[in-house]
Chains A and B, each alone.
Chain A
């Protein structure tokens, strides 16, 4: 079983739609959680950290359910520029040291 699992997609959505991605992790000792965005043939870039209380950054909302070992990312009012692969990332320490990446979920936003 993979440490971090994601639906690879692709998710094809029209501009303006709301889309949600899910991620599950196997290590119950995981402490920090993140969503990264990776464009084709580029390095990953931190989108947002994920907190137990849930957090929002503009059109992006992240949720964490420790009991179910489940993380989600909601994107509202999708833009063409949101097209990318979204990576779910966890660490097993309190700092962003050893990152474990999911395979990513590909999002394609269309006109």
Chain B
């Protein structure tokens, strides 16, 4: 099956700093990628849809200036959490759309201290 990687798998950062998370489709090209966030014991919530070569589409309530998304190539999308705060601590998961199905990355666990 299609493989999607994420880096880093785990990151701890201090409050006020920025963190970049990479999502790569390894064996297929993805014009569309998605970013989700999952808090403990809650469902995955879609944050934004990332389209190669254009601006991301953010879901209601997600601050686009805080969660910067760049999808500069057909195999890479990045999510930057700017000025991170403890409430941003969560499990961030990306997915890439290929052949009508979403393939998920392994997730990045962000802890902001």
Contact = CB atoms under 8 A, between A and B. Distances in A.
Contacts of A1: none
B104 A98 contact: no
Interface stretch (B12-20, B40-48, B69-77, B82-90): B40-48
B97 interface: yes
Nearest to B4: A43
Contact of B100 (A41, A43, A96, A98): A96
Size class of the contact patch on chain A:
10 to 19
B109 A95 contact: no
Contacts of A41: 91, 107, 109
A98 B106 contact: no
Interface stretch (A14-22, A51-59, A72-80, A101-109): A101-109
A95 B43 contact: no
Contact of A104 (B43, B93, B107): B43
Contacts of A104: 43
Nearest to A45: B104
Interface residues of B, number: 20
Given A96-B100, A98-B49, A43 B105 contact: yes
Interface string B87-113: 000010100010011101111010000
B18 to A, nearest CB: 24
B32 interface: yes
A4 B46 CA distance: 14
Interface string A67-95: 00000000000000000000100000001
B62 to A, nearest CB: 14
Return the 8 tightest CB-CB contacts between A and B, nearest first.
A43-B104, A101-B43, A103-B43, A101-B44, A43-B107, A96-B101, A43-B106, A95-B100
20 contacts: A41-B91, A41-B109, A42-B106, A42-B107, A43-B104, A44-B44, A44-B93, A44-B104, A46-B101, A87-B43, A96-B101, A96-B102, A97-B32, A97-B49, A97-B102, A98-B49, A100-B46, A101-B43, A103-B41, A103-B43
